[in-house]
Amino acid sequence: MTCALEHFTATVAAQLMRREDWNAQMNDPVMRKMWLWHAIEESEHKSVCYDTYQKLYKDYPTRASAMVIAWSILAVVLADQQVRLMAKDGQLFNGKSWLKGMWSLFGYKGFISQQALPLLDYFRPGFHPEDHYSDDLEQKYKELLKFEG
């Protein structure tokens, strides 16, 4: 499960760094810096858990099954959180608001839809997290945010 979730977070992190239109929506400079730091950090260690799992088990069926379970749990948690946020904003029954939000996530060039192929790549038997190169993005944001290392 941890390998699956690490792939998910590393994929989201790379997407956040790649999509400047999304990370630019963070108006608070402190929060933007914190989230981009977290994206760099997730990208830097994306292979640690996977490499450990492969060294110890090399069990593809368990690895793939864990991703299905992780996605199922994550989908329920995210849906619950979305409903709570929409209710808190008074938008729970606003169809236009839902359509706009779903389009931005799942539509053409949506944040989630653009991650579909990298996420599904986890099911490839020869998959490795380093197949999804992000070193250039990490370096770009380390320099932009003036991080060392």
Q: What is the pLDDT of residue 73?
A: 94
Question: Residue 149's pLDDT band (boundaries 50, 70, 90)?
Answer: low
Number of domains, the chain: 1
Question: Residue 147's pLDDT band (boundaries 50, 70, 90)?
Answer: confident
In this structure, of 14-18, 59-63, 143-147, the range with the lowest mean pLDDT score is 143-147
Q: Model-level pTM?
A: 0.88
Asked if the model's pLDDT at residue 97 lies above 80, the reply is yes
Domain annotation covers residue 85:
no
Domain annotation covers residue 103:
no
Return the ∠ at Cα 72 (arms to 71 and 74), rounded to 5°: 60
Residues of the domain holding 129: 2-76+114-144
Considering only CA atoms, which of 47, 21, 54 is closest in space to residue 135? 47
Domain annotation covers residue 106:
no
- Per residue in 22-48, pLDDT (tens digit) is 888 889 999 999 999 999 999 999 999
Asked if the model's pLDDT at residue 111 lies above 90, the reply is no
The more confidently predicted of residues 24 and 83 is 83
Please tell me the distance from the alpha carbon of residue 13 to that of residue 132, in angstroms, as a whole number: 12
Domain annotation covers residue 91:
no
Amino acid letter, residue 30: V
Domain annotation covers residue 149:
no
Domain annotation covers residue 107:
no
Q: Which token pair is 84? A: 């709570």
